[in-house]
Structure 1
Amino acid sequence: MNENDVAGRMRTRLKTRHMLLLVTLDETRNLHQAAEAANMTQPGVSKMLKDIEDILGVPLFERLPRGVRPTVYGETMIRHVRMALAHLAHGQQSIATLRAGLSGHVNIGVIVAPALTLIPRAIARAKEEAPNLCIGVEVSTSNDLVVKLKQEHLDFLIARILEREDEPSLLYEDMTEEVVCVVGRRAHPLVAHPKLTLKELAQAKWILSARGSILRNRFDMMFRRADLDMPANVVETTAMSVTMSLLQQTDFLHVMPVEVARYYVATGELAILPIDIPCRMERFGIITSRDQVLSEGANLLLRHIRAVAAEIY
């Protein structure tokens, strides 16, 4: 029997109650306990399991003296069954949401630059259309956000996928590149410097992200390639409140995306130093999971994010 024949038989004969039983058997690993959980008799559970195995043409569970254990076929099927049941639950939730008016929760992950410019505008538009939609935003590094997306703690991301990562489970939709610049307080002595160089920046005081982060790596390599010592007077933090307070009250410098820097220049809080540094970041975009079905609310927010991104980038 070929793959299409099996798929056809599954569509016509495999029922939701079959899928629920497979999950219950996987969780209990015991026919008697599974029967109690499913409100069935043990012979009934045994018969239904055999029916499922007959439909698929492979053994799904190995019968043991004191229980059952999934075979390699069973493990594969159970994994897909769990995804199918989750998709059904999302569908039911979406229907309930449409009937009651768009509401519910959307949780997204965002890197710093779009968190200050793109996301606020998109959220404002989404809330105009769906005021009861609760939107959660987590700002962090791409590495941390990808982990949480895989764990299904987040619906989608505005972040980057690193070149070293092979992520077949993720979908990526490109947005734009990220150019960085040097910022300091408006009255910083180097703001009016006519010919600022990397050598002078190497001797300055800096607020940087911790070693190991993408931007810190690019920053350090910038000085290494110029055969310069890296700055020694450094404060390491990812807290934007600490960074902004130090920048405004001291002569520390900071490197940040131009998009973010322009925001703070417009508010009068910071100034961009007159030097084009050879420091570039990978492009970022929308990241979603192949196995995760987005809710109506998530799709609404994503639609507005795409629209605002087209205007900004």
Structure 2
Amino acid sequence: MNGIPNIRHLRAFREVARRGSISQAAEHVHLSQPAITQAIAKLEEEVGTPLFERRPDGMAVSAMGVLFLDRVERALDRLRTGTREAVRIGGRKGGLRGVADFDQLLTAAQIRALAAVADAGNFSLAARTVGISQPTLHRAARDLERLAGMALFARTAAGIALTPAAKALVQHVKLAITELEQGFAEVGEGLGGDTARIVVGSMPLSRPFILPTAVNALVRERPDVQFDVLDGPYDDLLHGLRHGEIDVLIGALRDPLPIDDVVQEPLFEDPLVVVARAFHPLSRRPKLTLEELAGCQWVVPRRGTPTRDRFEALFADAPPRGLVETSSQILVRGLLLGSDRLTLISAHQIRHEHELGLLVILPVELANTERTIGLTVRRGWRPTATQAHFLDLLRAAGTQAVSPVPRP
């Protein structure tokens, strides 16, 4: 989508769709009939297809208009929810009055300014990001504060920080932008094209098999689909998901659920195993105990990760010494292949190395180490057809990955 559509144009479109008449819509959006006609024409130009069928008895929403209308409704509802949440959190203090129901007067420039400053933490960097002058962006941001009747931006030593009210507002603003982007994508699909962009938050357990299998399957069917795969700490990926910057997270599910505006879907159970290089001295043993492994050197994940928690629980009585801590799977692989170190890792995660004979699973029984691998999405999220198909392909890949890697 090239920028954010004019918000007043979106409201005009919604009112005409609801009432089937430009003249009736004009009374509710406080625009003249010629202005609404012009707004609809401009929006149709942006969308790339007629949104209405012009009839003698009024305006009927076209098939493509129905698709786009649903996304517009969802986007405007997000803006309304966000503004109300901001007022609830921030109040209106210090003589600032603001405008009641100020979501009705939000502009694309103000929305763009808020989102850009939230990402950049600096007015100058935000202005460069959206391609406008710093004074123009600063003016839009301050206009938004006056409209809201509360402080949204606070200067700090590190730059510009969002107030708690602004943080609530920006989350819903970004989700509104995402709804509009999905609306444009759905219309594109309906017109016979498929240039959808799917943003995936990838946790380590999804990368060896599930994610590449699903991506390859979708690209074979729909070669124009674009993927943006992001990795990073779980909290960062969750933040991106909740703000509409990521469509789906794939990896180990959390128990308990960290927050109630996301939902998790399990795909399969994945056990943790003790892994060493091929021909490791311990690999020739028929059976090993944890006590025997406690004297070995290990490479382990950083503290606070689920696997590290399991590792510490297994060796609570006799913690191994000389640990190497890392979140890099490339480093883990290199350390294992070049030494007699061991690691505790997902069986699924070393699938390829095991099949190639590079790494082996040591014969030690580990109780209660299974982790649930699955999908995490926003509660109430409605994927496009392409996104929904990708989720089905992920589920199919998860079914293929159910069987644990066989032990030697």
Task: State the partner residue of 1:235.
Answer: 324
CA distance in 2, matches of 1:78, 1:247: 45
**3-state SS of paired residue (2:344):** strand
Q: Deviations over 1:116-162 (max 9, x none)?
A: 11111111110110111122223445444222212322110113442
Deviates more, 1:292-301 or 1:183-192: 292-301
- Say what the alpha-carbon RMSD is for the aligned residues: 3.5
Given candidates 145, 148, 151, the residue that maps to 1:69 is 148
- Paired letter, 2:224: N
Identity of aligned residues (%): 25
Structure 2 match to 1:294: 383
1:204 aligns with one of 296, 303, 306: 296
What's 2:262 paired with? Answer: 170
Matched, 1:285 2:374: yes
Report if the CA contact (8 A) 1:179-1:258 is conserved.
yes
The residue that corresponds to 2:392 in the other structure is 303
Count of residue pairs brought into register by the alignment = 262
Structure 1 residues without counterparts, runs of 5 or longer: 1-10, 29-65
- Structure 2 portions without partners, runs of 5+: 1-17, 20-24, 32-75, 80-102, 112-144, 151-165, 403-408
> Partner amino acid for 1:258?
A
- The correspondence of residues 258-273 of structure 1 with structure 2, limited to 5 A, is 258-273=347-362
Q: CA deviation at 1:78?
A: 10
Cα 1:203–1:77, aligned 2, differ >3 Å: closer, same or farther? Answer: closer
Given residue 259 of structure 2, which amino acid in structure 1 is its aligned partner? E
Q: Provide the rounded CA distance (Å) in 1 between the counterparts of 2:182 and 2:343.
A: 43
Q: Secondary structure at the match of 2:358?
A: coil
Matching residue of 2:210: 118
Q: Specify whether residues 184 and 142 from structure 1 end up closer, same or farther in structure 2 by C-alpha distance, changes over 3 A only.
A: same
Q: Is the 8 A contact 1:176 1:285 kept in 2?
A: yes
**Offset, 1:211:** 1.2
**Which residue of the partner structure matches residue 151 of structure 1?**
243
- Give SS of 1:116's match: coil
Distance 1:145 1:77 in 2: 19
Match of 2:106 in 1: 23
81-90 vs 204-213, which moves further: 81-90
Q: Deviations over 1:207-255 (max 9, x none)?
A: 101111111011101111xx2x211121111111111111111111111
Alpha-carbon distance, 1:293 to partner: 4.2
AA aligned to 2:271 is: V
How far is the alpha carbon of 1:166 from its aligned partner?
Answer: 4.4
Task: Quickly say closer, same or farther: Cα 1:86–1:187, change in 2 above 3 A.
Answer: closer
**Structure 2 CA distance, aligned partners of 1:149 and 1:86?**
11
Aligned partners of 2:364, 2:186: CA distance in 1, in Å? 51
Is this contact kept in 1: 2:273–2:344, CA < 8 A?
A: yes
SS of the residue 2:207 aligns to: helix
* 1:25 Cα offset (Å): 10
Distance 1:101 1:200, change over 3 A: same
- 2:196–2:386 Cα contact (<8 Å) kept: yes
